[in-house]
Structure formats: structure tokens, C-alpha cells
């Protein structure tokens, strides 16, 4: 007997869950608020240029292989490994640092400011690697039925890692490295988790191991959106129907179960089971009207920084830059402490630049360039008015021009700026937060909104704000965890 599943959202977690569930014999239908699939992993096409809208690289590529193997398909896209991983420029320096995966080359890059870096890194990465391997299967890739179950599971992690839960990632950098630059560069991963290195526990330095040693970072041949196109093609072959421009606004329950959801036009979407790929915390508050996730409670949670993104189509090729570039300054501690709550001016921000047509020439017309700039900024709780988004973009573009000697402003023929407000309205990102719920120790594992609803037996969640967390590989793992839940509760049908 076929069971019908309605998936709300076509982000990476929604698409991967759909693929897994069809493999297991479920009939799947999907609804999506935006006009095309992918969620944050989306594509902007404008004035002859293409832009990957948000993710530009990812780690743990083997999670995509696991997905393909599970669904018995050939990998629908090709990875391109990044090496060097990225370049970093500090304000006032006349040079940039290239972050090589090869530790000898990396040490050579920093030899003037950080002697013996190779040895220091070997020691640092050994410990970071142990944490990663000691937690990956025990904690990250597990479903938890209760908080107690989670806490018991944590006791299986070797006790030697415990102290790193109680001091910060920055302290870990101070213990291992001497130069300001090296400490800053290896603590940037703290921001990927939604906090600062000063309040992120040192255990998360395992992310330095994933970037430098374990699997590195990858892009996709032909652009990141090939991931979405590949998955959607496969889903279409499996007769999964996808409906765009459909925003779920309310629900209907019968006998302790969800019987249907309703969209903005009042249309009813019925199914046997439901998987919510929209934000697992804010959906519970805004659509299910749960008290535990009422606006005040949601606002008290820790959310990751919001994105201000800029997409530039240039009339010529950029010189003197690498594909992936970070532009940092020297007021790191002050900036990190103030940016979340909007207590520092945004005229001199920190930002990341990806020259997208270097990887993917088809993203720009011949001889031209498509450039993506991401500036992490306060979310809408702390800065609700973004009328100055263009002004901030001007400042970033001018700064980038000064620091690279390349006239970005003068060569721009296409420009789009997306503020946190635009991100919120495009994909329902709560308060415009870019990566969803942060990963403080009280917001991960058994503390994170569960992928199985507390009240309705036929309602599940997949995506960045449920387990295990945010980022592309994590959302693929999330699709595996929710599928395991559904199979445990309802069985394999094929
Ligand atoms: C600017 C930026 C840069 C990033 N860079 C990277 C990176 O380089 N590498 C990396 O690994 N990760 C990166 N991330 C994080 C990554 O994009 C996310 O973790 C991941 O894409 C989340 O996928 P998801 O499926 O959980 O959610 P989403 O992609 O948000 O998908 C959820 C979908 O649900 C839809 N939806 C929401 N509410 C409703 C509703 N009520 N009705 C119908 N549909 C609804 C939304 O429109 C959306 O399409 C970045 C994120 C941002 C914003």
C-alpha cells in the first residue's frame, strides 16, 4: 500500500528526503514558497550572468555519495576539490595568505609570522581529528528520542575531550598558535556555526580538521545549482510532483494527527505523512502556534548571523584574485563581539568574495565575470531597517577595490543587493538568519528542535534548524535521520 508524503520546502534537505523516501516506496509530493527549487542553495540569473545565491563550497562530500548510493542512482553532479581552499586578506597588509591543504606549503605561507607552523598544525589537527571521529557517529549522525538519551549518548564520547566543552575556540587558538593572523583564520569556522570564536566551545575546532585534512572543501562542476538540478531531474523521473509559489500558512488536525495543510490561497494539501523542510523552530511557532516557539521564545534563541549578499556582473575579467577570498580587519575581537547585536557601524565590515565564473565560466558571458559577495550582518531582531543596504554594498565594493587595486565599481554592469529582509521574505528565514539556529551546546543534539514532532505522530522535520545542524552536508545527514525515523514508525514500503 502506498503512503503519501507531503514535503513542505524544496531546500537540499527536502529534496534529499524526497529522494530517499521514493527509494523506500513512498509517494512524495512537494510544495515550495519560492518560484524554483533549492531553498538557500539557489540560482540568480540576471543580465546574462548567473550566480549561486548562497552556498559556494561544502565539506564532507561523502555525504552526497552516501545519498546517491542509498537512492541507487549515479552521482548527479561532479565535485571540484578546492586547493588552495581560500585566500585571506587583512586590512593594511600588502599581501594575502593562501590556505593550502598541504601543511608544508601552508607553513611556508606563514613562515615570517608563525615559525614552526607545520609542527603546530600537526599537533592541533591531531586533537581536532580525534574529536571529529569520536563524535561523528556517536553524536552527529544520531536520532535522539529524549534529552536523557542524548546525554547518555554523550557519555560515550571519550572523557579526554570534555575540557574543550568548557573553554572557547579562541582560547584553543591561543594555546596552539602565536600570530594574530593564524589565530583569526582558523577561528573563522566559529562563524559558520553562528557564534563567534570567543563564545564557541573549543570542541568545534574539529571543523578545522574537516577543512584541512579530512575531506577539504568542494565546489561543483558547472556551479553549485547543479546539485539541485541533478536531484530534481531524478525526482521528476520518479513522478514526484513539485508545486512552486505555494506557501503553507495553516494546518488541520484530526485524531491527534495532521490531516492537511492549507496554502496562502486556501488550497488544501492532504497526505498521510508530512515532512517540514521550512525552519523547524519557526514553523512550530508560526504555523503550528506552539507556545514553546512563540515569537518571544524564538527571539530568545541564538540565531546565526544574517546575510547581506551582493551579486556583481562585471564587463571584464578580475585580475589578482583567487576564487574564494576573505577580507578581514585587525579589530577582530571587538568586531566579533559587536556585530551580532548591531553595536558596531557597518561601514567597514568583514566579508567574503567568490569570483564564481573562475570555477564556472558559463556563469558569465565571454570575457566577463560574475562575482558574489557575502557580508554577515545582524539579523532583523537587532537591525530591522535595511534601507541602507545599498550604501553598505557601496562601502564594501569600494573597500574591495582599494585592497585589490581592481576597479569593481567602474566595471560593474549588473548589480543586485539582497538584505536580510529579502532573505527572510524569499525563503522564510527566521529574522533573516542565514544559517538558522546557532550551534551552542544548548541548541544541538537532544536540545535542538527534534525531527519528529512532539504532538502529531505523522509530522516530521528535515533541514538546518533540526538535527544535526546547518550547512549542506548536515542537511543531507538530516534527510537520512528523518528517513530513518519515518521507516522506524511506518516501515519500508518497497
Ligand atoms: C548566504 C549563505 C551562504 C551559505 N554558504 C554556505 C556554504 O558555503 N556552504 C554550506 O555548506 N552551507 C552554506 N550555507 C548554509 C546552507 O545554505 C543551508 O544550511 C542549507 O542550504 C539549508 O538547507 P535546508 O534544506 O535546511 O533549508 P532551505 O534551503 O532554507 O529550504 C527550505 C525551503 O522551505 C521553503 N519554505 C519555507 N517556509 C515555507 C512554507 N511555509 N511553505 C512552503 N515552503 C516554505 C523555503 O522557501 C525553502 O525553499 C549558506 C547559507 C546562506 C544563507
Nearest to 249 by CA among 265, 227, 234: 265
- SS3 call for 314: strand
Number of structural domains in the chain: 2
Pairing of strands 241-244, 27-32: parallel
> For 452-490, how does the pLDDT look when each residue is reduced to its tens digit (9 = 90+)?
999 999 999 999 999 999 999 999 999 999 999 999 999
Q: Indicate whether 109 and 204 sit together in one domain.
A: yes
Angle of helix 225-237 versus helix 12-23 axis, rounded to 10? 30
Q: Indicate whether 142 and 114 sit together in one domain.
A: yes
What residue numbers bound the domain in which 119 lies? 104-211
Verify whether ligand 1 is closer than 6 Å to residue 56 (CB atom): yes
Residue entry with cell 578581514: 328
Distance 152 CA to ligand 1 centre (A): 31
Q: Indicate whether 201 and 297 sit together in one domain.
A: no
* Residue 316 is assigned to a structural domain of this protein: no
Mutate to test the pocket of ligand 1, among 11, 304, 352, 469 (most ligand atoms within 8 A of CB): 11
Take atom 8 of ligand 1 and give the residue whose Cα is closest: 55
> For 170-199, how does the pLDDT look when each residue is reduced to its tens digit (9 = 90+)?
999 999 999 999 999 999 998 888 789 999
Mutate to test the pocket of ligand 1, among 8, 54, 82, 192 (most ligand atoms within 8 A of CB): 54
Average pLDDT in the 274-279 region? 98
Nearest to 179 by CA among 113, 99, 269, 133: 113
Residue entry with cell 569556522: 189
Q: What CATH number should be reported for the domain holding residue 458?
A: 3.50.50.60
Contacts of 185 (CB under 8 A, 6+ apart): 88, 97, 99, 326
Q: Indicate whether 180 and 250 sit together in one domain.
A: no
Q: Looking at the DSSP assignment, which residues form a beta bridge with residue 274? A: 6, 459
> For 199-255, how does the pLDDT look when each residue is reduced to its tens digit (9 = 90+)?
999 999 999 999 999 999 999 999 999 999 999 999 999 999 999 999 999 999 999
Q: Indicate whether 201 and 254 sit together in one domain.
A: no
pLDDT at 53 over 70: yes
pLDDT over 90 percentage in the chain: 96
Which atom of ligand 1 is nearest to 374's Cα? Answer: 1
Q: Indicate whether 207 and 229 sit together in one domain.
A: no
Verify whether ligand 1 is closer than 6 Å to residue 41 (CB atom): yes
> For 317-355, how does the pLDDT look when each residue is reduced to its tens digit (9 = 90+)?
998 899 999 999 999 999 999 999 999 999 999 999 999
Q: Indicate whether 155 and 240 sit together in one domain.
A: no
Q: What CATH number should be reported for the domain holding residue 173?
A: 1.10.405
State the pLDDT at residue 1. 58
Average pLDDT in the 120-134 region? 96
Contacts of 77 (CB under 8 A, 6+ apart): 220, 221, 222, 226, 227, 229, 230
Looking at 163, 185, 211, the residue that finishes a domain is 211
Distance 277 CA to ligand 1 centre (A): 9
* Residue 402 is assigned to a structural domain of this protein: no
Distance 477 CA to ligand 1 centre (A): 14
- SS3 call for 257: strand
Verify whether ligand 1 is closer than 6 Å to residue 193 (CB atom): no
Amino acid at each position: 500500500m502506498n503512503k503519501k508524503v507531503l514535503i513542505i520546502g524544496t531546500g537540499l534537505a527536502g529534496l534529499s528526503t524526497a529522494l530517499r523516501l521514493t527509494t523506500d516506496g513512498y509517494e512524495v509530493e512537494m510544495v515550495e514558497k519560492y518560484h524554483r527549487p533549492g531553498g538557500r542553495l539557489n540560482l540568480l540569473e540576471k543580465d546574462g550572468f548567473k550566480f549561486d545565491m548562497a552556498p559556494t563550497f561544502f565539506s564532507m562530500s561523502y555525504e552526497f555519495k552516501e545519498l546517491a548510493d542509498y537512492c541507487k542512482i549515479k552521482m548527479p553532479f561532479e565535485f571540484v576539490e578546492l586547493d588552495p581552499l581560500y585566500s585571506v586578506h587583512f586590512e593594511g597588509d600588502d599581501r594575502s595568505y593562501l590556505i593550502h591543504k598541504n601543511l608544508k606549503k601552508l607553513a611556508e605561507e606563514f613562515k615570517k609570522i608563525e615559525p614552526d607552523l607545520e609542527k603546530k598544525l600537526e599537533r592541533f589537527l591531531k586533537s581536532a581529528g580525534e574529536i571529529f571521529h569520536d563524535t561523528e557517529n556517536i553524536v552527529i549522525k544520531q536520532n535522539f528520542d529524549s534529552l536523557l538519551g542524548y546525554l547518555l549518548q554523550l557519555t560515550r564520547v571519550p572523557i579526554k575531550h570534555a575540557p574543550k566543552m568548557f573553554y572557547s575556540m579562541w582560547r584553543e587558538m591561543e594555546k596552539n598558535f602565536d600570530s594574530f593572523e593564524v589565530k583569526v583564520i582558523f577561528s573563522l569556522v566559529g562563524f559558520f556555526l553562528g557564534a563567534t570564536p570567543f563564545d564557541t566551545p573549543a570542541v568545534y575546532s574539529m571543523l578545522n580538521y574537516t577543512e584541512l585534512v579530512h575531506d577539504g572543501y568542494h565546489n561543483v562542476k558547472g556551479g553549485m545549482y547543479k546539485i539541485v538540478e541533478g536531484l530534481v531531474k531524478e525526482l521528476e523521473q520518479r513522478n514526484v510532483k513539485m508545486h512552486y509559489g505555494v506557501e503553507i500558512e495553516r494546518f488541520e488536525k484530526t485524531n491527534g494527527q495532521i490531516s492537511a495543510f492549507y496554502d496562502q490561497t486556501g488550497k488544501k494539501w492532504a497526505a498521510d505523512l508530512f515532512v517540514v523542510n521550512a525552519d523547524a523552530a519557526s514553523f512550530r511557532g508560526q504555523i503550528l502556534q506552539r507556545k514553546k516557539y512563540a515569537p518571544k521564545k524564538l527571539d530568545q534563541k541564538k540565531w546565526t548571523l544574517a546575510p547581506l549578499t551582493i551579486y556583481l556582473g562585471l564587463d571584464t575579467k578580475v585580475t589578482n584574485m583567487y576564487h574564494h577570498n576573505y577580507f578581514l580587519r585587525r579589530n577582530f575581537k571587538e568586531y566579533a563581539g559587536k556585530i551580532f547585536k548591531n553595536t558596531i557601524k557597518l561601514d567597514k565590515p568583514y566579508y567574503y568574495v567568490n569570483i564564481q565564473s573562475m570555477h564556472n565560466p558559463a556563469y558569465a558571458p565571454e570575457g566577463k565575470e560574475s562575482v558574489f559577495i557575502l557580508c554577515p550582518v545582524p539579523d532583523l531582531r537587532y537591525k530591522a531597517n535595511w534601507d541602507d543596504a545599498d550604501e553598505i554594498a557601496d562601502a564594501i565594493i569600494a573597500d574591495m577595490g582599494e585592497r585589490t587595486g581592481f576597479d569593481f565599481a567602474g566595471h560593474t554592469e549588473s548589480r543586485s543587493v539582497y538584505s536580510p529582509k529579502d532573505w527572510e521574505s524569499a525563503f522564510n528565514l527566521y529574522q533573516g538568519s542565514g544559517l538558522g539556529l546557532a550551534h551552542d551546546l544548548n541548541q544541538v543534539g537532544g536540545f535542538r528542535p527534534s525531527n519528529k514532532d512532539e504532538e502529531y505522530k505523522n509530522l516530521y522535520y528535515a533541514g538546518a534548524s533540526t538535527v544535526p545542524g546547518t550547512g549542506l552536508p548536515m542537511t543531507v545527514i538530516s534527510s537520512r535521520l528523518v528517513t530513518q525515523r519515518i521507516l522506524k514508525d511506518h516501515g519500508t514500503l518497497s
